[in-house]
Structure 1
Amino acid sequence: MQQRRFKNDDYNTLLKYPRFKEISVEFLNKTIKAPDAASLLFLNHELFGLEIYKFTSKDKKPIIIDCGANIGLSIIYFKKLYPDAKVIAFEPDKKIFDYLQFNINSFDLKDVTLINKGLWNEETTLKFFSEGADGGRIAQSDDANIVEIKTLKLSDFIKKQKVDFLKIDIEGAETEVLIECEKYLDNVEKIFIEYHSFIDKPQTLSTILSILENSGFRYYIEHIGVKSKHPFESIKNYVGFDNQLNIFGYRV
């Protein structure tokens, strides 16, 4: 399956390629660029292998909002699923945004709006940890590789229109963003949230689930990413997170 999306030689190169080094490969017969081979393989597996964003819509031109678009594989997937979809995508990291623009242009995708800003509970400027792949997030006090990003409010993009699919994968900012836009979530048909639990900070999973329930969603949850084999003995962490969950919100 993976080799069918990449050329065989490119796929084998990706498996051996060093981390955080730019690579250009053929993907679905188009040239794409990525800053990190391991992240590219992981995204390909999740999006085109497992198809975690697969959804059905009665509208042939669904409105999709992609919060945390990274290098654009999610957008490419959405446009393969619904070629006439209208996509609004946010990616705050300027370096990653450059890859996003290149890849969307390579596929010559139409009705895609790319916004080089993050999402938060207000329009402001924040310090951002640029991991160099798919793990960038709001900076913590002990982080290196800090850049500044500008932010917008998600409510401004969902309060006046029906949204068929809302994807929120913003590396720990999801709770603040959902609280800010909660009263407009009635306009959203389906929602995907990647929940991140920060080490030594209060966990906010209950807040997110309460927001979903109050907005009329049922939800399905699966564990991904950081996993501790014996959590009573030790908790593993990665870039400041000690737990990650995929949350799928849907209406019945």
Structure 2
Amino acid sequence: MLGVPKNEKPTWLSRLAARPEVHRAIRTFRLQEVTSVALKVRPIKRRLPNSGAEYRVRYLESFLMADEIFRRRIYREAFEGLDVRSFVDLGSNVGYFPIFAAELTGRRDLVGIAVDGNRAMTDETQWHIDHNRFANVKALWGIVGYPSDVKEATFYLNPSNVSCSAQPVLNPDVPSKGAIKEVTVPTVDVARAWKEHAGDQRVDVLKIDVEGFEREVLGTCGDLLARTSSVVVEWHKWIASEGEVESLLRDRGFERFRTISEDPYCGVAVYRPRAS
């Protein structure tokens, strides 16, 4: 999960998320299972003022995600100065980023794809797409970050849906919520998927939040980056350093536009193509 954006005070939710004892209590009292059962019976729904788009909360982690994305608007700087009409969301989780994009731009006709390796999260993303009638947005189930000749790969499902990843190493400073389950899922050639969905249209904003698999993703999506105007990426320090992420993007012609947030575990920054 993201840290607190620079120049902003943490909310009570972000403070709780940073405390290891909170994570231990969630596991001990099985709060994820209890909350999920209750929210599946009666999910919490919220309508956003600018776009009229609506999101729902059906998982415990989604409270923090909604706080980050809709209240603190942590992705807004990726849109700064751009007339955003398209996006790619890698690591979509429950599908809040497409809703935020619609809210920030005021557009319901955005063209986008949202990819996640957790089938339950892809289904939740699809619900948000259908519910909000985002006719030009497509949810894809699969893993990005593999060569095009690799058709399937292992994905690691964590009891906490924000910690699922194509790599198995969890943040050592955040107590696990339970055992990891290995599943085999299809891979997604994201550049090909974009071309099939959007033709030659540029990607105005590319969001990457893949829980430690960012080096692999950045190393294999050069064709997509070549047509991208803004990249917002989260790096996970126990796997990938800021320098590694920045070097991969620099090799693709990008430079740092702005750092959004950084804490002992993760960092988030926006990159833009270098001026000629």
Q: Report if the CA contact (8 A) 1:57-1:164 is conserved.
A: no
Deviations, residues 98-124 of structure 1 (Å, cap 9, x unaligned): 222222222222211111112022233
Higher relative contact order (CA 8 A, sep 6+): 2
Q: Report if the CA contact (8 A) 2:114-2:138 is conserved.
A: yes
* Whole-angstrom distance in 2 between the partners of 1:56 and 1:40: 25
Distance 1:64 1:146, change over 3 A: same
Q: Show the counterpart of 1:97.
A: 122
Which of 133, 156, 161 is 1:108 aligned to? 133
Which of 206, 216, 219 is 2:253 aligned to? 216
After superposition, residues 95-174 of structure 1 pair within 5 angstroms as: 95-122=120-147, 123-132=150-159, 133-140=161-168, 144-157=180-193, 160-174=200-214
Residue-pair matches, total: 215
* Whole-angstrom distance in 1 between the partners of 2:249 and 2:68: 23
Deviations, residues 66-102 of structure 1 (Å, cap 9, x unaligned): 1111111111111222312111111111122222222
Identity of aligned residues (%): 20
Structure 1 residue 131: Cα displacement: 1.8
Distance 1:106 1:157, change over 3 A: closer
After superposition, residues 1-252 of structure 1 pair within 5 angstroms as: 18-20=31-33, 21-22=35-36, 23=39, 24-28=43-47, 30=54, 32-34=56-58, 36-37=59-60, 39-54=61-76, 55-56=79-80, 58-59=82-83, 62-82=85-105, 83=107, 84-122=109-147, 123-132=150-159, 133-140=161-168, 144-157=180-193, 160-182=200-222, 184-198=224-238, 203-219=240-256, 220-224=258-262, 227=264, 243-251=265-273
* Whole-angstrom distance in 2 between the partners of 1:171 and 1:114: 19
* Whole-angstrom distance in 2 between the partners of 1:207 and 1:93: 26
Gaps of 5+ in 1: 3-16, 228-242
* Whole-angstrom distance in 2 between the partners of 1:136 and 1:206: 24
Gaps of 5+ in 2: 1-10, 12-29, 49-53, 171-178
TM-score by length of 2: 0.68
Deviations, residues 206-251 of structure 1 (Å, cap 9, x unaligned): 23211222333221335446x3xxxxxxxxxxxxxxx211121124
Q: Report if the CA contact (8 A) 2:92-2:115 is conserved.
A: yes
Q: Report if the CA contact (8 A) 2:144-2:189 is conserved.
A: yes
Range with greater deviation from structure 2 (23-32 or 47-56)? 23-32
Secondary structure, in 3 states, of the residue corresponding to 1:187? coil
Greater fraction strand: 1
Q: Report if the CA contact (8 A) 2:167-2:213 is conserved.
A: no
Distance 1:50 1:250, change over 3 A: farther
* Whole-angstrom distance in 1 between the partners of 2:215 and 2:62: 26
Task: Name the amino acid aligned to 1:115.
Answer: L
Structure 1 residue 25: Cα displacement: 0.8
Secondary structure, in 3 states, of the residue corresponding to 1:138? coil
Secondary structure, in 3 states, of the residue corresponding to 1:88? strand
Secondary structure, in 3 states, of the residue corresponding to 1:110? coil
Q: Report if the CA contact (8 A) 1:158-1:188 is conserved.
A: no
Greater fraction helix: 2
* Whole-angstrom distance in 1 between the partners of 2:190 and 2:242: 19
TM-score by length of 1: 0.74
* Whole-angstrom distance in 2 between the partners of 1:85 and 1:138: 28
* Whole-angstrom distance in 1 between the partners of 2:46 and 2:98: 14
Structure 1 residue 156: Cα displacement: 2.8
Range with greater deviation from structure 2 (153-162 or 115-124)? 153-162
